[in-house]
Structure formats: structure tokens, C-alpha cells
Amino acid sequence: MEQRERPDEILVYDDASEFPPGEYIPSRFSVRVIREETNKGPAHGRNQLLKASRCDYVHFHDSDDLFHPQWCQRVRQAMEETKPDAVFTEISSYRGDRLFCERVLGLKPMSSTEEFIRFCIRGVILVPAGTYRKERVLAIGGYRESLWQSEDFDFHVRLAASGIKPVILDDPLVSIRIRSLSRSQNQREVWTWFVEAIRLLSKELPPKYRFDLAETAARAGSTLFGLGARKEARAAFAVGKKVGPPTFKAYHRLYRLLATTLGQETAEWAGVVYRKVLPERVRCLVKEHPFMNPRCSDDRPD
């Protein structure tokens, strides 16, 4: 409500919450509340909001995230000037009152649809970054409700693959707050569902994106292994191998050698032993050696 320009309509989806939002919305504001009697998750909620909206463009925003005062004005200006399929802005993240990351997504102008698809696969566009032409979201079936987590990753890859023409605003016009109790902090669950999204996408995207999906599955598996989720990590390694297999070009040379010859899990266990045996100062020297880190054009995992 502190925007210089306000949205045409505001809808609130109440996913069977313990504290109904009506009590927190000032009566002078025109807000429609849609309540579900059983908790069905964000993907279902966003699809309900999508169907209920009367606007040509929609924006999804979690209740603990914040807008920059110029957000609506800047996004609306971009929509009016070029009539894009979507407008994406940068996001800043905060822990309490402290700035954690000024530009979370690393957005940049994209020269082609193919580049944008690969950007969505290799990274993750978070939901408050985007404002979408409603008909383009409906055309892909909205959010995939079978995904309990990582639904945003899947949604943006499918939307990009549909050939949308987005406008990129690289200014951080939205802020997200990192909280220990937030849904996204369950990293084991997030990355497990992330791998499931990769598996589903591998059946739907053109073959030329299989390398990107395989590399992303490898990153997810490595993350799960580091979280102690060994079973889930093995599943991720298997998906990467089936989809690709990955080449691990973004990893140091020894890891790549072990992963391609003996398997990624072996490379991960070797890393565990390596960190236990060698002191940190020795590891730093090894890490800086040109043999371990050859130049390559591939993006490193986040």
C-alpha cells in the first residue's frame, strides 16, 4: 500500500492457516481473500490465485517478502512500453535487518530464448522476481501441483521453454527475508523435490537441454550429499547419469576424474576423506594449483 502506484487488484490466498489473514488486513484496503480448508501447498495456491485474477498480468508474492516503493511503477512502465510476456526484477535478501545479498539471482539481459532457458535451468528464479502475462501462464497449465517444493524452479523452466519474451530489470525491487522457520529453509526437502523436478523436465524439454539438466542434477546431488542425505543424493546422481551424463566441467579436475570414472558418489566420499586428512592451509594451496582448476567456460554451481 506504500507503492507510488498500486496494483489494480490484490488477492490473498489463505492455505488453511491457523491465523486467518482477514484480521490483519486494514478495512480501508480492497483485498479479496481466498481460503482453503486444507493445506495444499504453494503450487495449488498460486494456481487458485491465477484463476481468480481479473488482470492481464499477475505477480505472486509470499507473505514474508517485501516490495521496493517503486516496484509497481517500474514494472507497470515496462509492461506498457513493450507489452512483454513477463517482467523480472532482481531480489535482495536480508537476515533480520542486515543485507545478506544485494542481487540474489544474478539477472542479466538475455540475447535469446535459449539463453534464458539455460539461465532458468542452471539457476533458480524465485517467485517474487516475476510478473507474468496471465494467458502465457495459463498456456503451460500454471504451476505443477505434484511438486511440494522447488515448484518455482520447475515453473520458470517450463515458462521459459514455452518461448516467452521477458523484460529484465536488474535493479533489486523486491526483498526476501531469510528466516529459520521459513518453508525454504528445509534444504533436504527442497533439493529432493528439485531432483524430482529435473526428472520431470527431462521428459519434456528438447534434447539439447539434457546437458544443462544433468549438470544441475549433479549439483543437487552434491548438495544433498553435503547435507547428509545420502539416499537422496544417490537418487540425484542416478538422475544426472540417466539424463546426461554430466561432465562435471564446473568442478575441479580431480573431482571430475573420479566422478566420470568411478561415479559421483565416490568423488564425494573422496572429498570427505580429503578434507579430514589435509589441513586447511594445504587444501588452499592445492585448490589454487592450475591442475586442479583449469579455465573453462561453464558456469560454476551456486
pLDDT tens string 232-263 = 999 999 999 999 899 998 888 888 999 999 99
Of 281 and 235, the one with more pLDDT = 235
- Checking if the pLDDT of 61 tops 50, the result is yes
> What's the CA angle centered on 240, arms 108 and 301, to 5 degrees?
35
Mean pLDDT across 63-81: 93
The set of cell numbers assigned to 16 is 488453511
Query: Quick one: pLDDT at residue 105?
Result: 93
Band of pLDDT at residue 284, cut at 50, 70 and 90: low
Asked whether residue 14 is assigned to any structural domain, the reply reads no
Other residues' Cβ atoms within 10 Å of the Cβ of residue 4: 10
Most confidently modeled of 26-35, 100-109, 234-243?
234-243
Query: Quick one: pLDDT at residue 252?
Result: 83
Residues 218, 129 share a domain: no
End-to-end C-alpha distance for the chain, whole angstroms: 35
This prediction's pTM: 0.88
Asked whether residue 21 is assigned to any structural domain, the reply reads no
Asked whether residue 28 is assigned to any structural domain, the reply reads no
Band of pLDDT at residue 300, cut at 50, 70 and 90: very low
Residues 191, 171 share a domain: no
What confidence tens digit (pLDDT) does each residue in 114-169 have? 999 999 999 889 999 999 999 999 999 999 999 999 999 999 999 999 999 999 99
Helical segments of the chain, H only: 42-52, 71-82, 113-122, 134-139, 151-161, 187-202, 210-226, 230-243, 253-262, 264-277, 280-288
Q: Which of 184, 205, 239 is the last residue of a domain?
A: 184
Asked whether residue 30 is assigned to any structural domain, the reply reads no
Query: Quick one: pLDDT at residue 279?
Result: 59
SS3 of residue 91 by DSSP: strand
Q: Which of 166, 184, 202 is the last residue of a domain?
A: 184
DSSP 144: -
Query: Quick one: pLDDT at residue 110?
Result: 84
Nearest to 209 by CA among 198, 220, 219: 198
Residue type, 250: A
Residues 134, 247 share a domain: no
Residues 180 and 95: beta-carbon distance below 8 Å: no
The CA distance from 44 to 123, in Å, is 23
Asked whether residue 61 is assigned to any structural domain, the reply reads yes
Residues 118, 221 share a domain: no
For 69-87, give the DSSP string: TTHHHHHHHHHHHH--SEE
How many domains, the chain? 2
The set of cell numbers assigned to 20 is 486467518
Residue 220 belongs to what domain range?
186-288
* CA distance to 198, 200, 251, 277, per residue, from 239 (Å): 8, 10, 18, 31
Where residue 120 sits, what CATH number does that domain have? 3.90.550.10
Mean pLDDT across 59-64: 92
The set of cell numbers assigned to 42 is 504453494
Query: Quick one: pLDDT at residue 274?
Result: 65
CA-only gyration radius of the chain, Å: 21
Give me the numbers of helices (H) and strands (E) for the chain, helices first please. 11, 8
The CA distance from 294 to 39, in Å, is 49
- Checking if the pLDDT of 81 tops 50, the result is yes
Query: Quick one: pLDDT at residue 264?
Result: 94
DSSP 98: E
The set of cell numbers assigned to 214 is 544433468
* pLDDT above 70 coverage of the chain, percent: 90
Q: Which of 184, 200, 225 is the last residue of a domain?
A: 184
Residues 163 and 140: beta-carbon distance below 8 Å: no
Residues 45 and 124: beta-carbon distance below 8 Å: no
